[in-house]
């Protein structure tokens, strides 16, 4: 190490690091201060249970056809139970948690394609947009059901160990951390999932992974954000690796549609398009 390098290292430690720490705290303070509401919504458990009953019997023909084609489908009772705590919320748009079925089947199909000598290798999965943790647990179940060694790294602005209200049935019991909210599925969390808090535009630059076998992108829904996440993934994928995109719906999220179309045309990814309804679409892409 020369004198110039030593000087800049000292400057970084003494001056820049404290500034970085302060800026990080300031930029994240809102996410540690009940971002989904300071009080629970005045809804009884029965209201959430009624909402769950209304959505759990919805039929999604395109997704059912995809499940039959790939040969894998998630256990419905398990899915509905997880969704009750993580997807049944009070909001204006129609409730739907079919993306859990999509990522489970897509990942299960990917795992089944791995040749025998690869089955002992670790499968690395990246997710953006953890939210309450629904989709990451669906992917963890796929790994568990096939007895595969895997790691899911999932990112969100929302912290994992901060008590808050989540706009879900569990709010009736008081504020909980995400870890507490998902305690029923503790084994899957501990065996497969690492929760990261922060902005992917910054945090993905720090990610030191040689390979990302599978990704589910459901974070920020702008063109630039989707492309930024893709750029961090594409050089870490080989032929056959997969990226799944949620909310491929032109009327609501034109940025996602534009980004996915550009990725498939210009970056050698083939695609499968699925819909749960006219207002909710998904795209499963595979690197050629």
Render pLDDT for 116-151 as a digit per residue (tens, 0 to 9). Answer: 556 678 999 999 999 999 999 999 999 999 999 999
Give the span between the Cα atoms of 256 and 220, in whole angstroms: 9
State the average pLDDT for the chain: 90
Give the span between the Cα atoms of 165 and 167, in whole angstroms: 6
Render pLDDT for 67-97 as a digit per residue (tens, 0 to 9). Answer: 999 999 999 999 999 999 999 999 888 899 9
> For the ranges 68-77, 161-170, 200-209, which has the lowest average pLDDT?
200-209
Give the span between the Cα atoms of 282 and 45, in whole angstroms: 31
Spatial strand order in the sheet of 280-287: 193-197, 150-156, 123-128, 214-217, 242-245, 280-287, 269-277
Q: How confident is the model at residue 9 (pLDDT cuts 50, 70, 90)?
A: low
Cβ-based neighbour number of residue 276 at 10 Å? 21
Residue 244 in tokens: 């799944």
Output the pLDDT for position 176: 96
Cα R_g (the chain), whole angstroms: 20
Going along the chain from its start, the domains and CATH numbers come out as 1-32 (no CATH), 43-287 (3.40.50.150)
Output the pLDDT for position 235: 93
Closest CA to 156 of 206, 88, 204, 89: 204
Render pLDDT for 242-280 as a digit per residue (tens, 0 to 9). Answer: 999 999 998 889 999 999 999 999 999 999 999 998 889
pLDDT at 16 over 70: no
Mean pLDDT, rounded, for 172-189: 96
Secondary structure (H, E, C), 217-277: ECCCCCHHHHHHHHHHHHCCCCCCCEEEECCCCCCCCHHHHHHHHHHHHHCCEEEEEEEEE
Computed from CA positions of residues 29, 153, 129, 262, in that sequence, does the dihedral angle turn out positive or negative?
positive
Please answer whether residues 39 and 247 qualify as being in contact, where contact means their C-beta atoms are separated by less than 8 angstroms: no
Output the pLDDT for position 7: 54
Output the pLDDT for position 173: 94
Model confidence, pTM: 0.91
The angle that helices 61-70 and 98-113 make with each other, rounded to 10 degrees, is 20
> For the ranges 8-17, 45-54, 114-123, 194-203, which has the lowest average pLDDT?
8-17
Give the span between the Cα atoms of 173 and 212, in whole angstroms: 38
Output the pLDDT for position 254: 94
Give the span between the Cα atoms of 48 and 29, in whole angstroms: 30
Secondary structure (3-state) at 130: coil
Output the pLDDT for position 220: 86
Instruction: List helix spans (H) across 114-212.
Output: 134-145, 178-181, 186-192, 200-203
Output the pLDDT for position 76: 96
pLDDT at 288 over 80: yes
Closest CA to 168 of 124, 134, 207: 134
Secondary structure (3-state) at 125: strand
């Amino acid at each position: 190490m020369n004198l110039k390098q030593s000087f800049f290292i000292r400057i970084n430690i003494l001056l820049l690091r404290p500034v970085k720490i302060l800026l990080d705290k300031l930029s994240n303070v809102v996410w540690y201060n009940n971002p989904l509401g300071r009080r629970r919504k005045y809804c009884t458990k029965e209201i959430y249970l009624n909402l769950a009953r209304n959505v759990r019997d919805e039929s999604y023909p395109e997704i059912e056809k995809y499940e039959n084609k790939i040969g894998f489908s998630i256990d419905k009772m398990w899915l509905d139970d997880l969704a009750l705590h993580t997807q049944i919320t009070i909001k204006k748009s129609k409730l739907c948690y079919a993306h859990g079925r999509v990522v489970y089947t897509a990942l299960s199909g990917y795992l089944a394609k791995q040749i025998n000598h690869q089955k002992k290798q670790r499968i690395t999965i990246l997710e953006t947009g953890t939210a309450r943790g629904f989709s990451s647990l669906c992917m963890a179940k796929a790994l568990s059901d096939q007895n595969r060694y895997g790691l899911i790294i999932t990112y969100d602005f929302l912290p994992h160990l901060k008590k808050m209200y989540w706009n879900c049935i569990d709010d009736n019991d008081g504020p909980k951390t995400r870890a507490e909210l998902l305690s029923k599925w503790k084994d899957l969390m501990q065996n497969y999932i690492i929760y990261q808090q922060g902005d992917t535009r910054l945090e993905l630059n720090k990610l030191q992974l040689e390979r990302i076998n599978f990704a589910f992108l459901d974070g920020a829904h702008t063109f630039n954000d989707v492309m930024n996440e893709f750029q961090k993934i594409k050089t870490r994928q080989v032929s056959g690796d997969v990226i799944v995109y949620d909310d491929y719906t032109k009327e609501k999220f034109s940025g996602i549609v534009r980004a996915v179309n550009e990725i498939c045309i210009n970056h050698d990814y083939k695609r499968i398009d699925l819909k749960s309804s006219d207002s909710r679409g998904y795209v499963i892409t595979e690197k050629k």
